[in-house]
Amino acid sequence: MKSLRNSVQLIGRLGKDPEVKTFGDKKKASFSIATTDTYKNQKGEKVEDTQWHNLVIWGKLADVAGKYLKKGSEVAIEGKLVHRVYETGKGEKKYFTEINVNDLMMLGAKQ
């Protein structure tokens, strides 16, 4: 059961092309994906609820993401939730939740 701790699995579509940065000999790709759930409300109307998730990928997988993924690409990911806090120059605290991706699968037709 240890592998179930802090584990996230999502299937969604990219909201923009990945942004790839290099830090020394490591690469980092950042992008967001949208997941949409559909349900009927009390009036019987169809409602779509879209959530956006910030993703970060490191290493060789970041190269793959930068090379092959584009806005609108459908992907399945597995990773873990990470919460970060930083303080701006004005003293405001900013909170971020993102998913550090361990595994990525490209879905859909070849582009």
Contact 98, 55 (CB under 8 A): yes
The domain containing residue 103 runs over which residues? 2-107
Cβ partners under 8 Å of residue 33, min gap 6: 10, 12, 13, 14, 15, 52, 53, 55, 75, 77
DSSP assignment of 34-89, as one string? EEEEEEE-TTS-EEEEEEEEEEEEETHHHHHHHHH--TT-EEEEEEEEEEEEEE-T
**What pLDDT tens digit does each residue of the chain (111 aa) get?**
566 789 999 999 999 999 999 999 999 999 999 999 999 999 999 999 999 999 999 999 999 999 999 999 999 999 999 999 989 999 999 999 999 999 999 997 665
- Which of 97, 100, 23 has its CA nearest to residue 65? 100
Write down the pLDDT at residue 111: 56
- The three-class DSSP label of residue 4 is helix
What CATH number is given to the structural domain containing 74?
2.40.50.140
Residue 19 amino acid letter: E
Split into its structural domains, the chain has a count of 1
Write down the pLDDT at residue 4: 75
